Structure 1
Amino acid sequence: MNWLSGSYEHVHFYMFSTSHIVVLVLLLLMILSLFIYRKKLADKNTRIGEWTAAFFLLGMEIAYHSWMIGTDLWTVNRSLPLELCSIATFLTIFLLITGNKLLYEILLFIGLLGASQALITPYLYFDFPHFRFFHFFFTHLLIFCTPLYFTWVKGYRPSFLSVVKTMIFLNVLASMIFVINKLTNGNYLFLRHKPETASMIDLLGPYPWYILSLEAVAFTLSIVIWLLFREKSATAVVEREFHHYF
């Protein structure tokens, strides 16, 4: 079968199949490698690698949209790059190119939370060796690992204010995409209904209450991520940050 074929025949993806388990093992190896070799990587000039990863992601996105157009799968109500992980893809690209701290602060939370959910419960129809399989998993692996790389290798750290910035970003984004969903009859960010395949959202109640539940979960888990990755002295400066900014 042609790897760019639009047919579902013989390549339907099943959660926790062999190919899925292999990807999860690869994710674990990537995380361990970044952590174990973080000091060696920090001593090297990694700009070529960062730019390579950025342009690889950009190339995958261009190839993905070209594939959808070529197979008549591209539609305005489901193919615009407005899903959280699509947005995280572009944040990852710009972070790898610019090293911008604000991009890191937002990507640390939405990258780890969004990509982990996507990697564990993929919203995917095509299995290995289809192009879409490679696009989906390579993209999400890089989204997940890039903020870890900037934390462990580049020395970036979140503050409590980073959580606040992320929640503001998500709420502004959701408001804009709510309007776009109305105009396109789309379901970007799953603001109109839950995904058709099994996901963690199934545990968060019916529409529209699961949206509020998602916000509470996102805030709670962002706090957990901040506690895990903050500077050792961050606890002592939380109150000072609040007084400074609020």
Structure 2
Amino acid sequence: MSYTWMRQYSPEHIAVLVTGIVACGILVVAARRVRGAPWLTVARQVTGWVLMVLAGAWLVFTLWPGNLHVTEALPFHLCDWLRYILAYGLITGDERALAITYYWGILLNPQAIITPYLPYVHHPAWVQFAGYWFFHMVALIVPIVMVAGFGWRPTWRDFRFVAAVSPGWMAVAGLANRITGGNYGFFAHKPPTPSIIDIFHRVGWKRTYWILEVILIAIVWTGVMTWPLTARSTGPR
């Protein structure tokens, strides 16, 4: 079945990107000013519960009869998992959940922001548009604020944990693709809209591009997102 989808770098896409950048900047500055305040734990937990309720409502919306599309809308994309992990991390302060939020949210999630593939399989379409962008932006902004605003720092233990559990999501997404004929995680084939995967295709990695992606992700997680911050980590966890 074919669907219409949001055009990349359309006025609405640009507007969302600008809004996200501005919101991120404001929240980082605000976080630095209130760092260490005694009420931050409660604020973090309330934020987490709000996100958890919204994520649950979004799941009901996508699985509602008439909206359910097994090849496009089951919760097997990375951000589908990330929104619950993020909310759980904020509610509990669990370091493992926060680490997944950091590594997945800052590096993997932005592909859906910079080169989105948003097929309008749900009705009304504006609800799908709002939900897609809200959850993807939150999954990027929260870990940036954690690090740049509140001084959270990853450890090598965090890195090893996320590196160990990430193949679990890949396996589940791959199994879902086999059962449904979908393309969760874009492991079955590249999306129909332009993305970074097109670059891998051009250099000859047409069928196993995901292997090159995994290699590059491991390099960035190690050399950019872990080592520099652990080498000069002085901020609070």
TM-score range, shorter chain: 0.7 to 0.9
Q: Give the CA deviation at 1:78.
A: 3.1
Deviations 1:187-243 (A, max 9, x none): 221221112222112112244321101101211221212245435159xxxxxxxxx
Q: Cα distance 1:231–1:30, how it changes in 2: closer, same or farther (>3 A)?
A: farther
Q: Cα distance 1:70–1:105, how it changes in 2: closer, same or farther (>3 A)?
A: closer
Aligned partner of 2:23: which letter? M
Structure 2: 5+ residue stretches without partners: none
Q: Do the aligned residues in 2 keep the contact of 1:151 with 1:229 (CA within 8 Å)?
A: no
Matches within 5 A, 1:1-246: 13-44=6-37, 45-70=39-64, 72-126=66-120, 130-205=126-201, 206-223=205-222, 224-230=224-230, 232=232
Q: Any idea what SS the aligned residue of 1:138 has?
A: helix
Q: Cα distance 1:233–1:222, how it changes in 2: closer, same or farther (>3 A)?
A: same
**Distance in 2, Cα, partners of 1:101 & 1:231:** 19
**Distance in 2, Cα, partners of 1:120 & 1:38:** 25
Runs of 4+ with deviation above 6 angstroms: none
Q: Give the CA deviation at 1:14.
A: 1.7
Q: Any idea what SS the aligned residue of 1:37 has?
A: helix
Q: Give the CA deviation at 1:92.
A: 0.6
Q: Do the aligned residues in 1 keep the contact of 2:52 with 2:88 (CA within 8 Å)?
A: no
Q: Cα distance 1:69–1:34, how it changes in 2: closer, same or farther (>3 A)?
A: closer
Q: Do the aligned residues in 2 keep the contact of 1:109 with 1:166 (CA within 8 Å)?
A: yes
Deviations 1:112-155 (A, max 9, x none): 112221111111135x9811111011111111111223224443
Aligned length: 224
Identity %: 23
Which residue does 1:241 correspond to in 2?
none
Q: Any idea what SS the aligned residue of 2:191 has?
A: coil
Q: Normalising to structure 2: TM-score of the pair?
A: 0.82
Q: Give the CA deviation at 1:71.
A: 6.2
Q: Do the aligned residues in 1 keep the contact of 2:6 with 2:119 (CA within 8 Å)?
A: yes
Q: Cα distance 1:179–1:69, how it changes in 2: closer, same or farther (>3 A)?
A: closer
Q: Normalising to structure 1: TM-score of the pair?
A: 0.79
Aligned residues: CA RMSD:
2.6
Aligned partner of 1:78: which letter? E
